[in-house]
A and B are shown apart, each in its own frame.
Chain A
Amino acid sequence: MAQMNMIQALNSAMDIMLGRDHSVVVLGEDVGFFGGVFRVTDGLQRKYGEHRVLDTPIAEGGIVAAAIGMGVNGLRPVAEIQFADYIYPAYDQIVSELARLRYRSAGEFFAPVTIRTPCGGGIRGGQTHSQSPEGVFAHVSGLKVVMPSNPYDAKGLLISAIEDDDPVIFFEPKRIYNGPFDGDPNKPAVPWSTHPKGDVPEGHYTVPIGKCEVVRAGADVTVVTYGTMVHVCEAAARAAGIDAEIVDVRTMVPLDVETLVTSVRKTGRCVIVHEATRFGGYGGELSATIQEECFWHLQAPILRVCGWDTPYPHAFEWEYFPGQARVATALRAVMEAA
């Protein structure tokens, strides 16, 4: 085991896969010589060469389209989109092509592409460096969608994604690259070495795609969340003195309904928390699914805590971000109901 932050864990996943499987290639803007603007691909080009770790033109549509073509020709591309906010020029290639290639060719063609992209706010990035667009990908049939909340899961899930023959959109919450973040920007930063999930095996292992994890067992209420918000929710429940069972979704698609349902049937209450905007967001899917499966066990309406339905505003970052106060208000509300 080694101490790793999320950047190192993700780097280790790619390093291992580049080493084990000669069909793996990494491509993206600034990922090669420079090692990525967040250093996630640092050293990989030096180690594996310019033909396997490729710097690309600034053309997200081109990056994904080329990755599809490479995938069809037997490679296993790991494409980086520098910020999730910049993924939309590639949206057509992802939605109309990558997601449907296997389906439309009746399984004769497929492209095992992993698209890594940093998401989420809390870094003073304004509307073009803060978005959480997992919902608009989860809505598309044929894409697996993943968002880890810690270094251990990040590495294990990324290896799973690369080994997966289906396309995976892999969101990396950049606010927690260097340490878990409980939602309070005024507290000193905490490194991953203080967190048990900062212990990461140096070798190959996988965390399965399609499995939630109960990160804290509790009796009062189930909090369904993922990414940065896992840590915010843990802190909020602790501060509010509520015995919350916190479930880290980890994989938006395919969704591990069983773990969610088991938890909510036990607690009878549910709060869903994500940083993305609320309206038409992924939380709505979670809420509907849980309601369908757990209606007769619910003692209160399911509540959602999300980012507001506005673009991510630079100056009001912390008023926008669904911090501990907003989460705690919802927790208290479901506890007081009925």
Chain B
Amino acid sequence: MRPSRLHIPKHHSRPGEKPDFSYLELSPAGTVARPDINTRVRDMNGLAFELVRVIDEQHRAVGPWNPHLDPSDLQVALRHMVLTRAFDERMQRMQRAGKISFYMRSLGEEAVAVAQGMALRPTDMLFPSYRQQGLYVVRGRPVLDLMCQLLSNTRDMCKGRQLPVMYHWRDGNIFSISGNLTTQFPQAVGWAMAAAIKGTDDIAASWIGEGSSAEADFHHAMLFASVYRAPAILNIVNNQWAISTFQGFAGGEHRTFAARGPGFGMAGLRVDGNDFLAVYAVTQWAAERARQGFGPTLIEHVTYRGAAHSTSDDPARYRPKDDYENWPLGDPIERLKGHLIGLGEWSEERHAELAREMDQRVQASWKEATTYGTLTEPPRLDPRLMFEDVFKEMPEHLKKQAAELRAELAGK
């Protein structure tokens, strides 16, 4: 008899080692069947273990999941992704320059938010985490407004109360980002339950990282969604990393994250998160299922966090420097670009022009945003705003504290 021995998930490669993605199980593009939306969950468990891919190695769209989008829509998608990346890159630099306190890039994951944002209706309610800025781009919130939030300036939608990137947009149907992980996942299910109670055909979608699927709130979301057949799309963005911790520590070593869907009696799908067409197609499928009362879907997006977790960590300490370059599913922008060029609907020249245009838009927006103040430069928000919205009506003890602060600041 051999005594039990604690198993420690194995990292595929560490700094100084050769990147190794042999642990990934990939399906060739076009090979995964597309069931009808009314298929019983028990008859499509396999979707949780395969990988839906549409764009093949020759940049062609192949197989039953091809959403057959118009090239003009694909050009719009490319614009959204290029703008998202240009925005991210500039904001990262501005954080490094000390203009904003914190930032989180979505480098390499742009297709997830952009494709899903485009596949859903504007009336569908979105409960994102902190790496889906592409949803704001798709729904048309000017990057200027996002920048004002990042700067905590006089036009900050959060009135200076939230850490950068914790946006919200009621009129755009995008819920407030908490900063605590996974809390929004079961809330999205509750929103979807309300839609079903009210009898509308709106659905809810929510996003977490694979690391966050470890939180108990994940279980709450899955259970309520499954029990009440809530019209919701629950997305796990498996970007392989939770700060320094590899996806194996979230339970991804022995089984896919999508497989947790069937475990709850829920459809579970695994998709190539860097393939715009595939993400769009599975989202459209899941949305239609939800809208027609066939229940929720768990989607695992297999992608890679190309950047650091945030501006507060250095990935060189925990993964090989060239890990991202060796990621086998490529870059989402490059892949959609290649597909459009293959269709004869795009060119390297037009792409370079688009990148320039988006960069200029970001630069111009930044210039304007800083005229409304920065964290350290005027104009500043009135500190009294700190006491508002704690409650709908300010209670006496907060009025008293606001007066004390006013006296404190006057005495300076």
Which chain A residues (71-108) contact chain B, with CB distance < 8 Å?
A: 85-86, 88-89
**Residues of chain B within 8 A of A310, CB atoms compared:** 386-387, 390, 398
Q: In the complex, are the beta carbons of A313 and B386 less than 8 A apart? A: yes
Q: In the complex, are the beta carbons of A58 and B160 less than 8 A apart? A: no
Q: In the complex, are the beta carbons of A127 and B179 less than 8 A apart? A: yes
Q: Which of B23-31, B161-169, B198-206 contacts A (4 or more CB under 8 A)?
A: B161-169
A85 CA to B166 CA in the complex, in Å?
16
Residue B331 is within 8 A (CB to CB) of chain A in the complex:
no
Among the listed B162, B249, B385, which residue makes an inter-chain contact with A126, where contact means beta carbons less than 8 Å apart? B162
Residue A285 is within 8 A (CB to CB) of chain B in the complex:
no
Among the listed B249, B313, B385, which residue makes an inter-chain contact with A57, where contact means beta carbons less than 8 Å apart? B249
Q: Min CB distance, A89 to chain B, in Å?
A: 6
**Residues of chain A within 8 A of B302, CB atoms compared:** none
A315 CA to B381 CA in the complex, in Å?
8
Q: Which of A27-35, A112-120, A161-169, A257-265 contacts B (4 or more CB under 8 A)?
A: A27-35
Q: Min CB distance, A43 to chain B, in Å?
A: 12
Residue A128 is within 8 A (CB to CB) of chain B in the complex:
yes
Q: In the complex, are the beta carbons of A319 and B244 less than 8 A apart? A: no
Q: In the complex, are the beta carbons of A30 and B245 less than 8 A apart? A: yes
Q: In the complex, are the beta carbons of B179 and A319 less than 8 A apart? A: no
Residue A311 is within 8 A (CB to CB) of chain B in the complex:
yes
Residue B11 is within 8 A (CB to CB) of chain A in the complex:
yes
**Residues of chain A within 8 A of B407, CB atoms compared:** 329
Q: In the complex, are the beta carbons of A58 and B181 less than 8 A apart? A: yes
Q: Min CB distance, B82 to chain A, in Å?
A: 29
A126 CA to B102 CA in the complex, in Å?
10
**Residues of chain A within 8 A of B317, CB atoms compared:** 34
0/1 interface trace, chain A 149-170, chain B, CB 8 Å (1 if under): 0000000000000000000000
Residue A178 is within 8 A (CB to CB) of chain B in the complex:
no
A60 CA to B411 CA in the complex, in Å?
43
A319 CA to B410 CA in the complex, in Å?
12
Residue B250 is within 8 A (CB to CB) of chain A in the complex:
yes
A128 CA to B166 CA in the complex, in Å?
10
* Chain B binding surface, main DSSP class: loop
**Residues of chain B within 8 A of A54, CB atoms compared:** 8
Residue A309 is within 8 A (CB to CB) of chain B in the complex:
yes
Q: In the complex, are the beta carbons of B6 and A62 less than 8 A apart? A: no
Q: In the complex, are the beta carbons of B249 and A55 less than 8 A apart? A: yes
Residue B360 is within 8 A (CB to CB) of chain A in the complex:
no
Q: In the complex, are the beta carbons of A314 and B245 less than 8 A apart? A: no
User: Known: A124-B101, A308-B401, A316-B160. Contact between A86 and B180, CB under 8 A?
Assistant: yes
Which chain B residues (163-212) contact chain A, with CB distance < 8 Å?
A: 163-164, 166, 178-181, 211-212
Chain B residue nearest to A52 (CB atoms) is B6
Q: In the complex, are the beta carbons of B163 and A314 less than 8 A apart? A: yes
User: Known: A128-B179, A309-B397. Contact between A59 and B216, CB under 8 A?
Assistant: yes
Count of chain B residues with Cβ under 8 Å from any Cβ of A?
A: 55
A313 CA to B383 CA in the complex, in Å?
10
Among the listed A51, A58, A319, which residue makes an inter-chain contact with B409, where contact means beta carbons less than 8 Å apart? A319
Residue A109 is within 8 A (CB to CB) of chain B in the complex:
no
Q: In the complex, are the beta carbons of B386 and A316 less than 8 A apart? A: yes
Among the listed B156, B318, B398, which residue makes an inter-chain contact with A33, where contact means beta carbons less than 8 Å apart? B318
Which chain A residues (110-156) contact chain B, with CB distance < 8 Å?
A: 124-129
Q: In the complex, are the beta carbons of B211 and A127 less than 8 A apart? A: no
Q: In the complex, are the beta carbons of A29 and B390 less than 8 A apart? A: no
Q: In the complex, are the beta carbons of A314 and B214 less than 8 A apart? A: no
Q: Min CB distance, B163 to chain A, in Å?
A: 3
Among the listed A34, A58, A279, A325, which residue makes an inter-chain contact with B250, where contact means beta carbons less than 8 Å apart? A58
Among the listed A62, A309, A315, A329, which residue makes an inter-chain contact with B161, where contact means beta carbons less than 8 Å apart? A315
Residue A326 is within 8 A (CB to CB) of chain B in the complex:
yes
Residue A226 is within 8 A (CB to CB) of chain B in the complex:
no
0/1 interface trace, chain A 311-331, chain B, CB 8 Å (1 if under): 101111001100001100100
Q: In the complex, are the beta carbons of B243 and A29 less than 8 A apart? A: yes
Q: In the complex, are the beta carbons of B405 and A308 less than 8 A apart? A: yes
Residue B242 is within 8 A (CB to CB) of chain A in the complex:
yes
Q: In the complex, are the beta carbons of A51 and B401 less than 8 A apart? A: no
Q: In the complex, are the beta carbons of B318 and A128 less than 8 A apart? A: no
Residue A287 is within 8 A (CB to CB) of chain B in the complex:
no
User: Known: A33-B11, A34-B317, A320-B386. Contact between A124 and B245, CB under 8 A?
Assistant: no
**Residues of chain A within 8 A of B380, CB atoms compared:** 315
A300 CA to B152 CA in the complex, in Å?
41
Among the listed B8, B156, B398, which residue makes an inter-chain contact with A51, where contact means beta carbons less than 8 Å apart? B8
Chain A residue nearest to B411 (CB atoms) is A325
Q: In the complex, are the beta carbons of B245 and A29 less than 8 A apart? A: yes
Residue A37 is within 8 A (CB to CB) of chain B in the complex:
yes
Residue B215 is within 8 A (CB to CB) of chain A in the complex:
yes
**Residues of chain B within 8 A of A309, CB atoms compared:** 390, 397-398, 401
Q: Min CB distance, B99 to chain A, in Å?
A: 12
Residue B408 is within 8 A (CB to CB) of chain A in the complex:
yes
Among the listed A61, A86, A308, which residue makes an inter-chain contact with B387, where contact means beta carbons less than 8 Å apart? A308
Q: Min CB distance, A321 to chain B, in Å?
A: 11
Q: Min CB distance, A79 to chain B, in Å?
A: 15
List 7 interface pairs A-B (beta carbons < 8 Å), by A numbering: A34-B318, A37-B313, A51-B8, A59-B214, A59-B215, A315-B152, A316-B383
Interface residues of A (CB under 8 A from B): 29-30, 33-34, 37, 50-51, 54-62, 85-86, 88-89, 124-129, 278-279, 308-311, 313-316, 319-320, 325-326, 329
Return the 6 tightest CB-CB contacts between A and B, nearest first. Answer: A315-B160, A126-B163, A128-B179, A57-B214, A34-B244, A315-B152
